[in-house]
């Protein structure tokens, strides 16, 4: 049985293209999330250290 180098090469190129696409998309989504969190107008409420602390 001979190795079909064209098929193996095509699969490797497609796999690398998919990996590059996913990495770029992940970086874009990360930047969008950071921008959203920086521009969020909702104040963050600070909670007590111990919620069951009754004095």
Judge whether residue 53 has pLDDT over 80: no
pLDDT of residue 6: 93
HEC profile of 1-55: CCCCHHHHHHHHHHHHHHHHHHHHHHHHHHHHHHHHHHCCCCCCCCCCCCCCCCC
Q: 């009754």: which residue's tokens?
A: 54
pLDDT of residue 39: 85
| Furthest C-alpha separation in the chain | 81
pLDDT of residue 40: 79
Distance of CA 22 to the CA centre of its chain: 9
Taking the complete model, does pTM exceed 0.85, yes or no? no
pLDDT digits (tens, 9 = 90+) for 10-48: 999 999 999 999 999 999 999 998 888 888 776 666 665
């Amino acid at each position: 049985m001979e190795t079909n180098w064209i098929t193996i090469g095509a699969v490797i190129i497609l796999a690398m293209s998919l990996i590059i696409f996913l990495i770029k998309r992940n970086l874009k989504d990360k930047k969008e999330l950071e921008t959203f969190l920086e521009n969020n107008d909702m104040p963050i409420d600070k909670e007590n250290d111990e919620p069951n602390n009754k004095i």
